[in-house]
Amino acid sequence: MDNQRFPVVNENVDFGVPFLPFPEEEAEVGEAWLVRIIWIIIYSIVTAAIWLFAYALYLRYANRSSVGYCNSKETVNGKTILITSKATGIGLEAARDLARRGARVILACGEIKEAQKMAASINSLETDGVILVRKLNTASLREVRNFAADFLKTERRLDVLILAASLGGSDTKIMTDEGLELTMATNHFGHFVLVNLLIGMLKSSSPSRVVVLASSAHSLLTSINPKDLNFKTIPYGGLKAYAQSMACNLLMANNLAHLLEGSGVIVNSMCPGMIKNQPYITGNGLVAKIYQIFLNVATRTTEEGAQTLIHLAVSEEVANHTGAFYIDCKERSMTNLGRNGGLAKKLWERCEEVVGFIHKNDE
């Protein structure tokens, strides 16, 4: 009777009910997955660190092993050379070398007290030349104009103009009180104004030279929009801003070489390599910090970075060679962007508008 009311259930029958683990088993499964995820994260971080370190070593080898040195013994006694630079940058090292060769070097930079201290130290040594320091912040077009006006009043000649002042792109876009993006203003627009205001003196002092810093970072770009050079509509990025400023410098140098053809003024651009105190990007962001690690490992000394500047300023090898791009004291091929003469002309005309040389249309 009991067996009929409560039949025996066959334990081998599958009723389709999924197996549900006990709470203790669920905890064990969760812990196992957590451990696995942690190990995956650790493995990924370690692998990335190894690859980054290996790449940094490669950069160090590529940057340090290819250094070219200026072997010219040419002297520049009595010549006046103007260099825009940081107080501790490659411009100062170039000034040191050129003063030893007999030049009267005018170092124009924003950190005037530090530059004066460095110049005094160099001048105290036995050199045939001298280094003079004048204040110039190339980010301010007003200051550039005033500097150029004073230079034309106080100087009789200009044999070499070296445009080497530079600023790495910042994490966030910074605009000057003249409405220019800070990186572009410092690296390009200020130099564009300066060289235009001093062209007459360069011609009257011929044979003379112009050397323009145009870091290889410009190769990161394949195009430039001349209508928006200050990132008003184009998305901003620190590295992008620096690369654009260097591309603009390259194109400026090429167009200037074309405009001055036959005048006795030669114009060339150059890349100094990776230099610690002349970074491509600055700031406290993750990208900037990672870049700084690379830079600490791969950096050249400022003396090494200045060699191509010196070579282009004094070497007899480039006395009649204009409109070229140099790395490690050797001419190198330009990117398609750098060779674009039509773009160089359009950019020049747009810069004339931006800096106020001709009627300016708002960007």
Where in the sequence numbering do the catalytic residues fall?
242
End-to-end CA distance of the chain: 98
Closest alpha carbon to 136 in 159, 115, 158, 105: 115
How big is the chain, counted in residues?
363
Element (H, E) at 142: helix 141-154
Q: Is 56 left (phi over 0), alpha (psi -120 to 50) or beta?
A: alpha
Q: Which residues contact 39 (CB under 8 A, 6 or more apart)?
A: none
Q: How many other C-beta atoms lie within 10 A of the C-beta of residue 23?
A: 8
- What letter represents residue 214's amino acid? A
Check whether the bond before 226 is cis (ω within 30° of 0). Answer: no
Number of helices (H), then strands (E), in the chain: 12, 8
Which two tokens mark 292?
Answer: 């700084």
- Give the 3-state secondary structure of residue 105: strand
Q: Are 288 and 281 in contact (CB under 8 A)?
A: yes
Q: Which residues contact 330 (CB under 8 A, 6 or more apart)?
A: 68
